[in-house]
Amino acid sequence: MTQLRPDIFDEAAVRLDAVTLRYDASGEILSGIDLALKPGSFSFLTGASGAGKSSLLKLLYLARPPSTGEVSLFGRPTSRLTRDQLSAMRRRIGVVFQEFRLLGHLTAYENAALPLRVMGRKEAQYRTDVEELLAWVGLGERMHKRPETLSGGEQQRVAIARAVVTQPDLLIADEPTGNVDPEMGARLMRLFIELNKRLGTTVIIASHDLGLIRQVEAPVYHLANGLLARTTPEPGKTARRRGDGIEIKAEEE
Ligand SMILES: Nc1ncnc2c1ncn2[C@@H]1O[C@H](COP(=O)(O)OP(=O)(O)OP(=O)(O)O)[C@@H](O)[C@H]1O
């Protein structure tokens, strides 16, 4: 069991202490990573293809435990939780998977609404919200189509709607703008920023899209050789900060 450091990060929404990950005998993918993200923070994760970004995110959304070290979420070390407690914690996390993971037999609307159904909410209570969310991400006309009839970018937007529909405490997104054009990428980024600003959702986004990252004034964590380093944010011309909030310059709607 890792000895947790009693320090300023005790209140972190996400905390990694000396985390390592190896899948097999071929070597460590992650080597002794420490990370603390405050509740309500907004961060990016970058790194070359194969650096281990998706692997790191998998640890954060509790898809697998680290090989050594401790992953703590919402102030609780996860290695000590029961299965039920882990399930309850997973319900507080919205995940945008790199490969979308939509259910093929459900429509876009049904996919996006699924987490609410699983929570036992009644459709009459959420239908309008889900429809509005899908319209906002540009799927107003296509929400009753099945994933196989949607483009990659449309499927990605369904996956994003599904991840944010529950208004999670923690949003983890793996390349969430990888399949859309720059304009839609900026729009989706605004959705994440809104969630972060209005609801205090802690957001971490893995992305290769440096153009998009530069538009948002937020810390960037760079993964290389199994190690994580925080790089100085490099605000672009359009980034600005108001109070604690983060903004991206909005195009006129
Ligand atoms: N389930 C697995 N079993 C064995 N090795 C794996 C597994 N998943 C990932 N890897 C290996 O771990 C390394 C990191 O992969 P990962 O997908 O985390 O990188 P990434 O930074 O997200 O890459 P990309 O930007 O291309 O998505 C790669 O060498 C990959 O082959």
Q: Which atom of ligand 1 is nearest to the CA of 208?
A: 25
Residue-level pLDDT, tens digit, the chain, 253 residues: 444 444 444 579 999 999 999 998 878 999 999 999 999 999 999 999 999 999 999 999 999 999 999 999 999 999 999 999 999 999 999 999 999 999 999 999 999 999 999 999 999 999 999 999 999 899 999 999 999 999 999 999 999 999 999 999 999 999 999 888 888 888 889 889 988 998 899 999 999 888 889 888 899 999 999 999 998 655 444 444 443 344 444 333 3
Contact residues of ligand 1, CB 6 A cut-off: 23-24, 29, 47, 49-55, 98
The pLDDT of residue 210: 86
Q: How many CA atoms lie within 13 A of 58 on its CB side?
A: 16
| Candidate of 31, 44, 46, 53 to mutate for ligand 1, largest count of ligand atoms within 8 Å of Cβ | 53
The pLDDT of residue 232: 65
The pLDDT of residue 10: 55
The pLDDT of residue 42: 96
Among protein residues, the one whose CA lies closest to atom 29 of ligand 1 = 50
- 211 three-state secondary structure: helix
Q: Domain coordinates of the chain in residue numbers?
A: 9-90+202-231
CATH number of the domain located at residue range(s) 9-90+202-231 in this protein: 3.40.50.300
The pLDDT of residue 187: 86
Cα 64 to ligand 1 centre (Å): 13
Query: ipTM score of the complex?
Result: 0.97
Strands annotated E in the chain: 14-22, 28-37, 42-47, 68-73, 76-77, 93-96, 170-174, 202-206, 220-224, 227-231, 240-242, 245-247
